């Protein structure tokens, strides 16, 4: 969310409690009047995490003014995908799938009828997801309170809270957000929303939608990069099927029927590149996506396997002898530059936190009983980003809430507004001096060329230590600390509170 929009919102919410006319100036007559009217009842018991004042999270006297960030920001393919606004709920995307040939014999005479054919095409569609999150309840009386002059202010956060983004975050984290409770609550709401959206990029499945439309998922890459593509009439569209290999729950350093991960990924790359060239879509910009844990183990074994692929004599013995630092240099180059050489071409690698990872712990989702303790299984994807040197074929679309501006103004409620070019829709809920913010977004990821995408499933890897997770509830998620700190004034004696 932009600094200007959050600043205006903060001003309006604070001012409306004191002066409705000032609120009108901050947000205009419609929103200013609407905020003074309130909406459905809140609990009246605030639960926001305040930074300063009684019970403030960072209210300890004399603390340093630099706050070091230890919050894990999810990173994924989201920031590489362009973002486009739309209001179309059921778009139709057309593809020319090929030309069939009519049955018959070649003509005998020079004027006999020749064999003909028919052209085919497929039309596919997509759907929006819907994700919403809310702030905690805030009391305006509390947001400006300080214990005394011993509190450190202003505080500066050192670190990145929301990451590079794309569609999954408000475009910029406002400066000084930690000092303004409303800003902090909105940033927190953005963090909660980002976590969900990043996972839905891969794992989204409309079968998980709630019954009455309050929550919805779009089809993620784990569904879109697959087989069984059909026209909107239900007719099969085999030409649009993705290429799917299975590594058979084999370790990344192992072999499946004598074939290593090099054989699988090299074959996948060549198959997809062949389609792109023959369909006239080349050059295709493709990225290789996998979980960061798999990438570390993969990059350790790829150089040796890649440099010795098929280097065997008639008995099956490896005839290549590697006694220098070629393997180490290739491994280090891959890790440092995040690229992988495949068939003579370098492909950018994207580590994706949102991708499904199977594990051996039955207490968490994605449990796979075939895995041993310490083993994990996931996939490697090849995702086309653009074709013909520039046309985007993988991108975000979002419901453009800015198109509702006229209706919002006519409703006179003033509690509703959109931000960030129409990506996010907000509603301010009030009861007297208390308020909270609700936000929703309705995005989807589009893949126009699934036939240029592919995946290798069921690759096992066993990291020495699994990386920390950015997703709350994961077994490798870490947080800690307190949201409310003991107030030293509670132990002070006074004529009304003898100790």
Q: Is residue 404 part of a domain?
A: yes
Asked if 12 contacts 26 with a C-beta cutoff of 8 angstroms, the reply is: yes
Nearest to 138 by CA among 356, 416, 350, 431: 431
**Does 165 lie in the same domain as 46?**
yes
Low-confidence ranges of the chain (pLDDT < 50): 1-41
* SS3 call for 77: helix
Q: What angle do CA 88, 170, 389 make, to 5 degrees?
A: 60
In a domain, 96, yes or no: no
For residue 433, give the nearest of 138, 37, 43, 55 by alpha carbon: 138
Give the Cα separation of 363 and 426 in Å (integer): 35
β-partners of residue 367 are 359
Q: Do 308 and 341 fall within a single domain? A: yes
What is the per-residue pLDDT for 313?
59
Cα separation, 31 vs 15, whole angstroms: 12
Range of the domain at 310: 229-395+447-461
Query: Which of 328-350 are b and which e, b meaning 16 or more Cβ less than 10 Å from the residue's Cβ?
Result: eebbebbeeebebebeeeebebb
Structural domain includes residue 40:
yes
3-state secondary structure of 367: strand
Domain count for the chain? 2
Residues 326 and 250 in one domain: yes
pLDDT in tens, 354-399: 999 999 999 999 999 999 999 999 999 999 999 998 999 999 999 9
- Is the same domain home to 282 and 169? no
**Based on the domain organization, do 295 and 335 belong to the same domain?**
yes
Q: What Å distances lie between residue 433 and 16, 120, 141, 218, 409, CA to CA?
A: 9, 63, 7, 38, 24
Q: What is the pLDDT of residue 64?
A: 92
Residue in the structure block whose two tokens are 């931000």? 419
One domain for residues 167 and 45: yes
**So what's the pLDDT on residue 158?**
87
Separation in Å, CA 1 to CA 52, 402, 409, 439: 23, 14, 21, 12
Is the domain of 306 the same as that of 342?
Answer: yes
Count Cβ atoms within 10 A of the Cβ of residue 435 and give its class: 0-12 exposed, 13-18 middle, 19 or more buried. buried
Q: Which residues contact 377 (CB under 8 A, 6 or more apart)?
A: 249, 357, 358, 359, 368, 371, 458, 459, 460, 461
Cα gap 177→155, rounded to integer Å: 9
Listed residue (157, 190, 48) closest to 483, CA to CA: 48
* Residues 416, 316 within the same domain: no
Is 118 inside a domain boundary?
no
- Whether residue 192 lies inside any domain: the answer is yes
Which residues in 76-234 belong to E strands, given as ranges? 83-86, 92-101, 117-125, 131-134, 138-139, 156-158
Q: Give every CB contact of residue 358 below 8 A, 6+ residues apart in sequence.
A: 366, 367, 368, 371, 376, 377, 378
Q: Are strands 376-387 and 391-392 parallel, antiparallel or unpaired?
A: antiparallel
Same domain as 188, residue 134:
yes
Q: Are 282 and 376 within one domain?
A: yes
Whether 308 is in a domain gets the answer yes
Exposure string of 355-382, with b = 16+ CB inside 10 Å and e = fewer, is bbbbbbeeeeeeebeebeeebbbbbbbb
Give the single-character DSSP code of 491.
G
In angstroms, what is the C-alpha Rg of the chain? 28
C-alpha neighbours within 13 Å on the C-beta side of residue 293: 25
pLDDT at site 499 = 67
| 298/335 same-domain check | yes
Residue pair 202/221 in contact (Cβ under 8 Å)? The answer is: yes
Q: Is residue 74 part of a domain?
A: yes
pLDDT at 489: 84
Q: Angle CA(287)–CA(289)–CA(290) in degrees, nearest 5?
A: 160
| Whether residue 136 sits in one domain with residue 46 | yes
| Residue 22, pLDDT score | 39
**Residue 58 is assigned to a structural domain of this protein:** yes
Give the distance, in angstroms, between the CA of residue 51 and the centroid of all CA atoms in the same chain: 29
195 vs 1: CA distance, rounded Å: 16
Beta strands, E only, 333-400:
339-342, 345-351, 376-387, 391-392, 394-399
């Amino acid at each position: 969310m932009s600094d200007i929009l959050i600043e205006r919102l903060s001003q309006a919410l604070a001012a409306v409690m004191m002066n409705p006319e000032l609120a009108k100036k901050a947000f205009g007559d419609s929103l200013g009047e609407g905020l003074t009217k309130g909406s459905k009842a809140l609990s009246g018991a605030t639960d926001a995490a305040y930074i300063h004042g009684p019970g403030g999270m960072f209210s300890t006297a004399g603390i340093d003014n630099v706050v070091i960030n230890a919050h894990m920001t999810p990173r994924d393919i989201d920031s590489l995908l362009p973002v486009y606004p739309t209001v179309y709920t059921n778009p139709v995307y057309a593809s020319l799938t090929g030309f069939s040939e009519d049955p018959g014999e070649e003509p005998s005479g020079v004027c006999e009828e020749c064999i003909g054919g028919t052209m085919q095409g497929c039309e596919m569609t997509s759907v929006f997801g819907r994700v919403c999150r809310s702030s905690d309840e805030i009391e305006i009386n509390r947001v400006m309170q300080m214990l005394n002059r011993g509190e450190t202010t202003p505080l500066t956060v050192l670190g990145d809270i929301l990451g590079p983004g794309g569609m999954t975050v408000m475009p910029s984290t406002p400066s000084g957000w930690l000092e303004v409770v409303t800003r902090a609550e909105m940033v927190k709401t953005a963090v909660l929303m980002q976590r969900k959206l990043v996972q839905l990029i891969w794992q989204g499945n409309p079968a998980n939608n709630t019954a009455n439309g309050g929550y919805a998922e779009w089809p993620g890459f784990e569904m879109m990069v697959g087989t069984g593509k059909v026209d909107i009439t239900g007719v099969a569209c085999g030409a649009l099927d993705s290429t799917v290999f299975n590594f058979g729950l084999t370790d990344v350093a192992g072999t499946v029927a004598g074939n290593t991960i090099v054989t699988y990924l090299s074959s996948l790359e060549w198959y997809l590149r062949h389609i792109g060239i023959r369909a006239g879509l080349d050059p295709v910009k493709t990225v290789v996506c996998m979980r960061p844990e798999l990438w570390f183990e993969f990059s350790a074994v790829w150089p040796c396997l890649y440099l010795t692929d098929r280097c065997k004599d008639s008995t099956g013995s490896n005839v290549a002898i590697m006694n220098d630092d070629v393997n180490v240099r290739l491994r280090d180059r891959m890790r440092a530059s995040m690229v992988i050489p495949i068939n003579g071409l370098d492909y950018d690698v994207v580590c994706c936190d949102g991708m499904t990872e199977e594990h051996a712990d039955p207490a968490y989702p994605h449990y796979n009983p075939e895995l041993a303790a310490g083993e994990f299984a996931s996939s490697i994807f090849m995702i086309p980003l653009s074709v013909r040197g520039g046309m985007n074929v993988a991108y975000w679309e979002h419901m453009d809430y800015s198109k509702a501006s006229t209706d919002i103004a006519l409703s006179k409620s003033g509690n509703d507004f959109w931000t960030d070019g129409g990506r996010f829709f907000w509603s301010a809920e009030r009861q007297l001096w208390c308020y909270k913010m609700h936000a929703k977004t309705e995005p989807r990821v589009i893949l126009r060329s699934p036939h240029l995408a592919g995946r290798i499933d069921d690759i096992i890897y066993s990291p020495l230590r699994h990386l920390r997770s950015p997703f709350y509830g994961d077994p490798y998620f870490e947080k800690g600390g307190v949201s409310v700190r003991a107030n030293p004034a509670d132990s002070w004696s006074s004529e009304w509170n003898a100790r």
